[in-house]
Homo-oligomer: A and B are copies of this chain.
Amino acid sequence: MFIHTTTYRVRYADTDQMGYVYYGNYARLYEIGRVEALRSLGFSYKEMEVSGVMMPVYENKSRFIAPAFYDELLTIKTTIQALPAARMVFYYEILNGSEKNVNIGETTLVFVKMENNRLTTAPKDLLAKLCPYFEK
């Protein structure tokens, strides 16, 4: 299992007239969580794309437990529970400044070769970076 945390400051751009972070804007937080989780492993999503593999989202789920408010410094906790094969799943917990869990989410992504737009499996260098966290 691999766990990574980063922070995100809520901006006016993220809020709606309820005064909450708009439900569609959590997708941005999840994106930040998973990309920074990979970067902390020494793996760059951008370089993977340059090398010809992209990761479109296949499924996304969110549960909204409590509102997140303007200017809060949220913690995005991202967990990878299994080594990816054809798919890669990221789990998220979003915590506010009082350590309260405001949102949980889960995104499943697939690997696509850009040259032929076909599904592929996780790149070897991604697996190499992740493996140490999944050995017994």
Residues of A bordering B, CB below 8 Å: 9, 11-13, 15-20, 22-28, 31-32, 35, 44-46, 49, 54, 56-64, 67, 70-71, 107
Contacts and interface: CB of A to CB of B under 8 A. Distances in A.
Given A12-B31, A57-B64, A59-B61, 17 more contacts: A11-B28, A11-B31, A11-B35, A12-B18, A13-B31, A16-B16, A22-B27, A23-B107, A24-B25, A24-B26, A24-B31, A27-B27, A49-B70, A56-B64, A58-B64, A59-B64, A60-B62
Nearest to A19: B17
Copies in the complex: 4
Given A70-B17, A70-B46, A60 B23 contact: yes
Nearest to A61: B61
